[in-house]
Copies of this chain bind each other. A is one copy, B any other.
């Protein structure tokens, strides 16, 4: 696809400085973009790359235009404008209707004629696949699972029985939806498994990254609301509820029955305990551990940053007796105050 800079400026509502007839066929990074490519500038770390870019044009904010050696597309939010342009230049591939000969489809399954079913796929009893949906090679769809319209399951996704997906859902390879939650009860030192009889409901416009797992409910359902975006290798326990438009970065673990609000941003590798509530608009910085409910919107953190190992070893020794430090300090304060009197 080719677009003129003028058309691009209009599409992303940019103020434009330069030659509006120039033809653009791609987006690239500041340091790699060349003739016919647009780039964008939204992170100060790349200022020197901006100053020496050979892109045909750069999307940036008014304040940064002075650093731009080429044509400028000026917007308030360059990253968002880049996202819009990328969607224009690189649209999703449409489904190529048809069922691959090696796929195994149960007689009772309902597959929309416009859907695309890849090689080595297995579709179970009474499963339903909607209009324009693409099922990649090796995907396994359990009995009774329902997939909406214009969704895309990349190769080797597994949906357990009765899982429900909305429209425009993207599941990346290795995603497992609806495996049993970790429900076990202890009887005299032995574990008795608890049948997990709920399922998983995933709303519209949800995207889930590679090898992420979302367990089915023990009783009632695990729910991922509309517009949620989940990165790779995230674990979502049974009966969790993730509210609308929340984003969850990679390697996060969310234990069972926890409710996460809307528009939250959960940083990478966070751990969130079970049976708690996290309010709307909470931001968790990477590697935070949450073991109690968070009742107010805001930014929270708990991770410790790296130190050189010698300092770290000494700090760890002190940390092990941190409460004693507190006690010793108080004693000193008390005595000192006594002397003051």
Contact = CB atoms under 8 A, between A and B. Distances in A.
Nearest to A294: B306
Interface string A139-172: 0101000000000001110101000000000101
Interface stretch (A2-10, A107-115, A207-215): A207-215
A253 to B, nearest CB: 4
Interface string A163-186: 000000010111010011011111
A158 B156 contact: yes
A302 interface: yes
A45 interface: yes
Interface in A301-341: 301-309, 311-323, 325-326, 328-329, 332-333, 335-336
Given A155-B158, A227-B191, A249 B284 contact: no
A48 interface: no
A250 B183 CA distance: 12
Chain multiplicity (copies): 3
B271 A86 contact: no
A82 B220 CA distance: 15
A92 B313 CA distance: 42
Contacts of A235: 231-233, 250-251
A84 B300 CA distance: 40
Given A227-B190, A300-B308, A309-B300, A172 B179 contact: yes
Contacts of A15: none
A79 interface: yes
Contact of A289 (B140, B273, B287, B290): B287
A300 to B, nearest CB: 4
A83 B194 contact: yes
Contacts of A305: 289-292, 302, 316, 320
Given A122-B155, A138-B138, A176-B210, 11 more contacts: A83-B184, A90-B195, A100-B104, A174-B211, A176-B232, A211-B213, A250-B255, A268-B273, A299-B309, A301-B307, A332-B336
The 3 closest A-B pairs by CB, nearest first: A314-B323, A83-B185, A179-B210
